[in-house]
Chains A and B, each alone.
Chain A
Amino acid sequence: MKANKTELVANDFVIRAKGVSKTFGVHTALRDVNLDIQKNSVTAILGTNGAGKTTFIHCCLGLTKPSRGNLSIFGKKPGSMESRRRVGVMLQDADLPDLLTPREHIALFASYYPSPLPLANVLDICNLEGFATKKYKALSGGQKRRVQFALAIIGNPDLIFLDEPTTGLDTEARRMVWEVIRRLANEGRTIVLTTHYLEEADALSDRIVVLDAGNVIANAPTAEIQALAGGAMIKCVTDIPPKDIGKMPKVVSVRHNGRFTEINTQDSPSTLRALLSEDANLSELIVKKPSLEEAFDQLTHSQKKKS
């Protein structure tokens, strides 16, 4: 009975984190993180610098030991040989030795894994053919990141960690990485990526986890997070009292900023219709998508209201 149950759990969840905390001296990088990541999902971990994203990934890889709590990867200890054979990773600040070529680097990494992808395939998928035989040190920053990305997938892993995979990439390379991530996800792999960009999380993930100062402040399907973060922000000069605006359709919050009124709404057209019909003199109208910071503000705010 018990064995059956573990099997079920191991099959459903690739990563299980229960009460995971990590402190470095007086600094708390992760605070009581509970997070289960389902098989065959793409999870984006969003957060500002220092939110704990990289620490969480390092814990999952066994590079850092959690100070407290339980963490398992495929039901195994993070960093065990068994889990490492099924994991591919692109770290944020891991540069490769200068004097080998991308082809040599990837071939070496392939030898570590039980059933790696064919080298030629990976060179092709990651679009490395143009510089596969150049020395690593002669590559541009974006090319280097693409080689690092290739190392993450060469092992044909079931679970892939990508720590800020598109930082430093130009638009074209970013699109390539997105495309490969989608393809890998369609093939049934589990992907965990961190990013600064809400847009990237939105484009790739089916689940978003928001970390703020080491706390998980949101963990929900991507669509829900988007709604929670508010669809848009309306900025204008108007005489309507905030109290009345708050009652308008789809409005999440209202505040004054100098002579401007800022309104967060889940659906800007409905709110705008109401606003414009109430105030004919409304002026200096701007509608924009909230930035990640504004989304965070709102998430933290709504979190506090709930508790």
Chain B
Amino acid sequence: MMKPLFLNIYFHESGAEILKALRAPEYIVPTLVLPVAFYLFFAFAMPGAGTENARYLLATYGVFAVMGPSIFGFGVGVANERDRGWLKLKRASPSPSLSYIAAKITVTLIFASLALIPIYLAAGFGAHIALPRGQWVMLLGIHLLSVIPFVLIGLTLGFSLGSNAAIAVSNIAFLGMSALGGLWIPTFLFPPLMQKISVSLPSYQLAEIALSIVGANANAGAPRMPLHNLTIVAIMTAFLAVLAYWAWAKQRN
């Protein structure tokens, strides 16, 4: 008897996840269209739009574009499949639970990349933001790495909420982390209390790293400290991983 290869299962599982995503316009349209639409609007169409705005928003809308598929794909997707008993059946089957998560992360990375490409194109060709090739690669790297903490948040929601509650809470998390994380408006414009909240959000920390890569001006004289931000992101991610693991273990019984 040949043992089924993990890779083979993972490919099958990823294929199934891609099909599911492609057949769900309510997932695809906001994921792929909204970030670039917002980017075009705020970077080009708004009065006062200029290269500096386009540069700032390239960094922050990249994080925004990745956050959507991560939080919704996992928060809403996992909650729905758990609610209907699908995950229970999979647990009884010889499918390694890691292949399910890995396949979902793969699909998230694919759709996050597809959402990033038009933003990068608009920034590069539309707003003439010229970055050395290495900076573009680093920017893509940090944007795709952003998947990890947001997927962990999505998983925690998906494992602990029913499917209806998951939709509501995912929306709040998504919009809240976007607005308070400074992805739409720079946080230095916020009142001091809100700024304190911002600092505690992974969206803010990731955006700060991206901002330093694209060379956006530091605001209000405070220098950017990307390594400091990266350390905070790492700590937050570890904490979120524990939280997601705990939520996963709890729903199993």
Contact = CB atoms under 8 A, between A and B. Distances in A.
Contacts of B9: 111-112
A297 to B, nearest CB: 33
A112 B86 contact: no
A211 B95 CA distance: 31
B196 interface: no
Interface string B22-35: 01100000000000
B86 A63 contact: no
A110 B177 CA distance: 40
Interface stretch (B12-20, B151-159, B204-212, B232-240): B12-20
A62 B23 contact: no
Contact of B84 (A61, A79, A94, A107): A94
Contact of A94 (B1, B12, B89): B89
A148 B19 CA distance: 20
Interface residues of B, number: 27
A94 B93 CA distance: 12
A89 B89 contact: yes
Interface string B192-207: 0000000000000000
A84 interface: yes
Interface of A: 61-65, 79, 81, 84-85, 87, 89, 91, 93-97, 99-100, 104, 107-109, 111-115, 135, 148, 151, 155
B46 interface: no
Given A64-B253, A97-B20, A113 B86 contact: no
Contact of A100 (B3, B4, B20): B20
Given A61-B92, A81-B94, A113-B94, A108 B86 contact: no
Nearest to A61: B92
Nearest to B103: A108
Given A108-B13, A111-B4, A99 B24 contact: yes
A115 B93 CA distance: 14
Interface in B56-111: 81, 84-86, 88-89, 91-96
A63 B92 contact: yes
15 contacts: A81-B96, A91-B85, A94-B85, A96-B89, A97-B86, A99-B23, A100-B20, A104-B16, A111-B8, A112-B93, A114-B3, A114-B4, A115-B1, A115-B2, A151-B89
A94 B92 CA distance: 11
A122 B146 CA distance: 42
Nearest to B92: A61
Nearest to B1: A114
A114 B19 contact: no
Nearest to B9: A111
A62 B91 CA distance: 8
A81 B94 CA distance: 6
Contacts of A85: 94
Contacts of B3: 114
A80 B4 CA distance: 15
Interface string B204-241: 00000000000000000000000000000000000000
Given A89-B89, A97-B86, A108-B13, A65 B94 contact: no
Contacts of A63: 88, 91-92
